[in-house]
């Protein structure tokens, strides 16, 4: 049944996409930006280049896109794979830098703040961001980078708490749902159902965008991500109320 529904969605897409090919994109809602400090943290092998507001707007103009959302990469400082001195100060600084970039083009750009949801300072930073005009619109979570494992009850409960806090502050949520690939963390239908049944209901009033079709991108050759996407799409297809504000 699920395969049939997915095939119908694909067929629909093949029919409508040609007609949409010449439509003006509404916006770029997933644009990472990197400060010099973030690039230094990632190291030379990451291949990152300075990407701020001027560079993003130039890219938007070239693509014929009017508006964009700048996603802070501050969560990288809280990755368990790194030991960072003065970690929370650097998280705050990266989020503030992202807000400053968006402020250069206030009619075109918005900034979302980022953090590792498992950190002790996670809710403190969420509330701080909610109090800052340039960061109050949303949060960006990266479960892979933060090594969140939804099958662990404590991790799921913590993520639910963060979702509830974002909902209370009316902050949209962009979430990289894919579990850590390098550590081969479990990822599939079980994790999708935990997210759908235990985490997502905590944020019923704000947009929740699952990035990269539940994978990592680019491409769609990730079998576990397909399994997760299938669970989410099936819930949306049957009109589950908790998916009312769920987007990809």
* pTM of the model as a whole: 0.89
For 221, which DSSP code?
-
For the domain spanning 67-247, the CATH number is: 3.20.20.140
Q: Span 199-215, mean pLDDT? A: 98
Please state, in angstroms and rounded to a whole number, the distance separating the CA atoms of residues 213 and 168. 26
Span of 16-20, 141-145, 191-195 with lowest mean pLDDT = 16-20
Confidence of residue 16 (pLDDT cuts 50, 70, 90): very low
Please state, in angstroms and rounded to a whole number, the distance separating the CA atoms of residues 221 and 63. 26
61 pLDDT more than 70? yes
Cβ 237 vs Cβ 13: under 8 Å: no
| pLDDT for 15 | 39
Q: Give the domain ranges of the chain.
A: 67-247
Confidence of residue 26 (pLDDT cuts 50, 70, 90): confident
Sheet with 208-210: strands ordered across: 28-32, 68-71, 109-114, 138-142, 172-176, 208-210, 246-247
Report whether the peptide linkage leading into residue 116 is cis, meaning its omega lies within 30 degrees of zero: no
| pLDDT for 20 | 47
Tens digits of residue pLDDT in 131-164: 999 999 999 999 999 999 999 999 999 999 999 9
Q: What is the CA radius of gyration of the chain?
A: 18
Structure tokens at 225: 């991500």
Range picked from 2-6, 55-59, 124-128 for highest mean pLDDT: 124-128
| pLDDT for 23 | 65
19 pLDDT more than 90? no
Q: How many CB atoms lie within 10 A of CB 231?
A: 19
User: Buried b / exposed e across 188-227, counting CB within 10 Å, b at 16+?
Assistant: beebbebbbebbbebbeebebbbbbbbbbeeeeebebbbb
**Which residues face 70 on adjacent strands?**
31, 111
| pLDDT for 217 | 78
Q: Where are the beta strands (DSSP E) in 192-238?
A: 208-210
């Amino acid at each position: 049944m699920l395969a049939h529904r997915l095939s119908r969605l694909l067929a629909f897409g093949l029919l409508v996409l040609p007609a949409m090919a010449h439509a003006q994109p509404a916006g770029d809602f997933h644009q990472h930006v990197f400060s010099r400090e973030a690039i230094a943290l990632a190291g030379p092998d990451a291949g990152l280049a300075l990407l701020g507001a001027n560079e993003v707007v130039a890219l938007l103009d070239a693509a014929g896109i009017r508006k964009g959302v700048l996603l802070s990469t501050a969560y990288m400082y809280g990755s368990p794979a790194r030991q960072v001195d003065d970690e929370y100060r650097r998280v705050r600084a990266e989020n503030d830098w992202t807000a400053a970039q968006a402020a250069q083009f206030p009619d075109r750009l918005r900034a979302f703040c980022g953090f590792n949801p498992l950190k002790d300072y996670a809710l403190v930073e969420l509330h701080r961001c909610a109090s800052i005009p340039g960061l109050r619109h949303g949060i960006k979570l990266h479960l892979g980078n933060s090594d969140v494992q939804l099958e662990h009850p404590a991790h799921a409960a913590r993520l639910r708490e963060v979702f509830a806090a974002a909902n209370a502050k009316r902050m949209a949520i962009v979430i990289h749902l894919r579990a850590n690939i390098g550590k081969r963390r479990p990822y599939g239908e079980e994790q999708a159902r935990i997210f759908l049944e235990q985490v997502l209901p905590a944020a019923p009033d704000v947009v929740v965008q699952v990035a990269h079709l539940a994978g990592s991108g680019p491409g769609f050759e990730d079998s576990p991500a397909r399994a997760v996407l299938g669970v989410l799409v099936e819930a949306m297809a049957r009109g589950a109320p908790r998916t009312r504000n769920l987007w990809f």
